[in-house]
Amino acid sequence: MKKTRIIGAGFCVPDNVVTNDDLSKMMDTSDEWIYSRSGIKERRWADEKTTTSDLAYEASYRAIKQAQIDPDEIDMIVVGTLSSDYFFPGVSAQLQERLNLRNVAAFDIKAACSAFVYSLSIADQFIKTGAAKTILIIGAETQTKLIEKSTEGRDIAVLFGDGAGAAVLQTSSNESCILSTHLHSEGKDLKNLWMEAPGTVENGWVDDAKIFKSKFTPKMNGKEVFRSAVTRFPEVINEALKHNDIKIEDVKLIVPHQANFRISEAVAKRLGVDTEKVYSNIHKYGNTTAASIPIALCEALEQNRISKGDIIILAAFGAGYTWASAAIRW
């Protein structure tokens, strides 16, 4: 069976920096309150003219450039997002046109914070079976366009930021490869982290007389999400370790979804590793949902935290609930 490797990565975040002090002017909060509960100091918010597809395009362009390939080599596009430009079609179709690619397969994955690892796993299967040779995967969000930027929406508003990260995957001819991926979901708690509309339940999003603004903003039961995350993260990381018969000491770096620094600290403690082994950039970007892992991966590479031959693990947990991991030999 063929193997898959990442040959290029790139990311893009909006220029607009929103600090905790900026938020304190919009709602009843403070830098100390936000930082102590999340580890976030600032985040990027897209302006009115910047779309999810704009950020996805720029991240894709940079990943393709780093991969040093001709865009025509790409056979497939997979985009993870829950904040697409339109209800349908997906961002992937827009990217196919903007990148001027031939008529390749293109589809979106709505697995929230786990969407990038889900996309990675899907692409890996296509390449392993020989159905594709070069695949572009992206995690991209402008979720802050959906949040309530007031004291009423504070629990969500202080956490999220916008951005995009992309990777080019190709058939591997050496030991650098995706070792395994592991995907899970549990829908019984979906209302602990969800956005009710737009949707087709009762057609409430179509009839003006039935529209309720609160249905169009994300909702989160923070305590329950935190409790589940600190359980599922170590589980799915250990699953990857066991599957590949490797020890945590063999892992150079864990690159998790950037949900909350307190979650990362708890995960490191449960795994028995130093927090330095669990990469974090949440202080700069907040929670960028599907974009957080590829953005973190790009920065870890830029900082030389990952070298050829290193084993790294990507891990995510998010709405659905969904959770996932990927073990990679760089």
Positions marked active-site: 113, 257, 287
Tokens 């602990």 found at:
192
Give the whole-angstrom CA distance, residue 4 versus residue 126: 9
Contacts of 73 (CB under 8 A, 6+ apart): 133, 134
Euclidean distance between CA atoms 77 and 88, whole angstroms: 16
Cα–Cα distance list, 128 to 70, 122, 125, 131 (Å): 21, 10, 5, 8
**How big is the CA angle at 149 (ends 147 and 152), to the nearest 5 degrees?**
95
Look at residues 329, 319, 322 and name the one whose alpha carbon lies nearest to residue 156: 319
Q: What are phi and psi of 308, to 5 degrees?
A: -55, 130
Residue 68 token pair: 């040093």
